[in-house]
Amino acid sequence: MTAPAAPKLYRAIIDTLQDEIATGKYKPGDRLPPERELVERFEVSRLTLREAMIGMEIMGLVEARRGSGVYVTERSADILSPSDLDIGAFELTEARRLVEGESAALAAVTANAGDIAALREVLDRMVAENERELEDEVADRDFHLRIAEATRNDAMVLVVQTLWDVRHRSPLSMKMLERSRRAGVKPRIDDHRAILDAIAAGDAHGARKAMRDHLGRVIDHLLTATEIDRIERVRAEAAELRNRVSRFATT
């Protein structure tokens, strides 16, 4: 008999905190402990903890207040379950980094002149989408799928396409990507151009590295965009300091 799969780390955090809210350890209006304390308590990365916090926001359990922290909300009868959240953007991007790194390396060996021309056309569309600040980022998806198609491996195409489909189907992933866009993060043209140049040069090692570096930076940007507690608090404190200095200077 197969043992049941262990729950995802972010779901385990949500389950624990949800139980503590239900039993009154944290009441509506209470501020949850700071990120540093929760990371140490659950022995997880900041990425995992932020997935959990955003998941709890989607479920209606907490709300993030600018410059203050994360607070328990009034409980609602129609609260979602952690299983409704699906896969988070951090977890998904880690998987993409592994799979699409190999996709780019293989494409560097198999791509022909037509594939390279198609990738250049998609990159031009990506530049245009960035300039028009479009939210759908269709060209970004097309670029990565074109690379998979250039591998001449239908299984690779299916895996890459599935990862992108999950990206848009998962409520947790979409919420995190929405925050990233609000923070001004757009597809990195230089990253994609480096990937394309390596594939065009037939450099499998370079293509793999360029793709992994690119998706590593995507994770870094998601991390920055979800710095709810620390960054907003620092900004609020800096604004207050400027106000005090300004008042002092006019007295």
* Per-residue pLDDT reduced to its tens digit, 136-190: 678 999 999 999 999 999 999 999 999 898 887 778 777 777 777 666 666 689 9
Mean pLDDT of 60-88: 73
Lookup: tokens for 101: 């790194």
CATH code for the domain defined by 89-228? 1.20.120.530
pLDDT for the residue 229: 43
Mean pLDDT of 197-216: 97
pLDDT for the residue 115: 97
Higher pLDDT, 114 or 54: 114
Domain ranges of the chain: 9-84, 89-228
User: 139: closest CA among 126, 156, 157, 124?
Assistant: 126
Contact 150, 110 (CB under 8 A): yes
* Per-residue pLDDT reduced to its tens digit, 81-110: 555 567 778 888 889 999 999 999 999 999
Contact 190, 130 (CB under 8 A): no
Please list the residues that pair with 62 across neighbouring strands: 72
Mean pLDDT of 182-208: 89
pTM for this one? 0.68
pLDDT for the residue 30: 93
User: 226: closest CA among 134, 73, 87, 88?
Assistant: 88
Higher pLDDT, 149 or 250: 149
Mean pLDDT of 189-208: 97
What distance lies between CA 165 and its chain's CA centroid? 14
Lookup: tokens for 7: 């729950």
Which ranges of 60-201 does DSSP label H, i.e. alpha helix? 89-110, 113-132, 138-150, 154-169, 171-182, 189-200
User: Which CATH architecture describes the domain 9-84?
Assistant: Orthogonal Bundle (1.10)
Degrees to nearest 5, angle at CA 83 with 82 and 87 = 95
Lookup: tokens for 15: 């389950």
Q: What are phi and psi of 77, to 5 degrees?
A: -75, -20
Higher pLDDT, 251 or 161: 161
Higher pLDDT, 194 or 174: 194
Higher pLDDT, 236 or 87: 87
Q: Is the pLDDT of residue 129 over 60?
A: yes
